Amino acid sequence: MAIKEKIVKEFNAQLQRELYSAYLYLAMAAYFETTGLKGFAHWMKNQAQEERLHADRFYDFIVSRGGVVELEAIEKPPTSWDSYLHAFEETLKHEESVTTFIHDLADISIAEKDHAAHSFLKYFIDEQVEEEDTVNDIIAKLKLVKDSAGGLFMLDTELGGRPEPTAIDGGPA
């Protein structure tokens, strides 16, 4: 069964949002690099890579169902934040908005009776729970650390240990 135009349009929009997410997290990585927090930067670079893998999944799904991928310009992300905590609070807000979009896509796939699209989106629905939980955990640790250089160093070390995402981490192909 060919993919419906409404699904193609909405999945192309999500592909765009995933690419913007990658761009945003790369900007955050650069911000952390300039502050000397290499572990924070590493975490954000891996986050950017994960978002690119998500974009690839949407691309592949559209193509595999006979749809046409349409890429638009990517908006310039911010380049600085008031604090490390602020950067992660903005990350959480961004992930919450992505969650809303994914839920909207699931609703559209149900309304359009596109079971393949709905099945495809299940991974992303589950992924968003994990994304928000992980960022909330980092925010809680940043609030505990406050201005403690030692605590910040320990958190930087922890975030620097995040493994690089692989195609398997990005969900179904």
Enumerate domains of the chain plus CATH numbers. 5-160 (1.20.1260.10)
Mean pLDDT of 88-99: 98
Burial of 91 (0-12, 13-18, 19+ CB in 10 A): buried
Tell me what percent of the residues of the chain surpass a pLDDT of 90: 91
| pLDDT for 107 beyond 80 | yes
DSSP H helical ranges for 65-83: none
Model confidence over 13-26: pLDDT tens digits? 999 999 999 999 99
Q: Is the pTM of this model over 0.75?
A: yes
Mean pLDDT of 87-109: 98
* pLDDT, position 42: 97
CA–centroid distance for 173 within its chain:
17
CA distance 19 to 25: 10
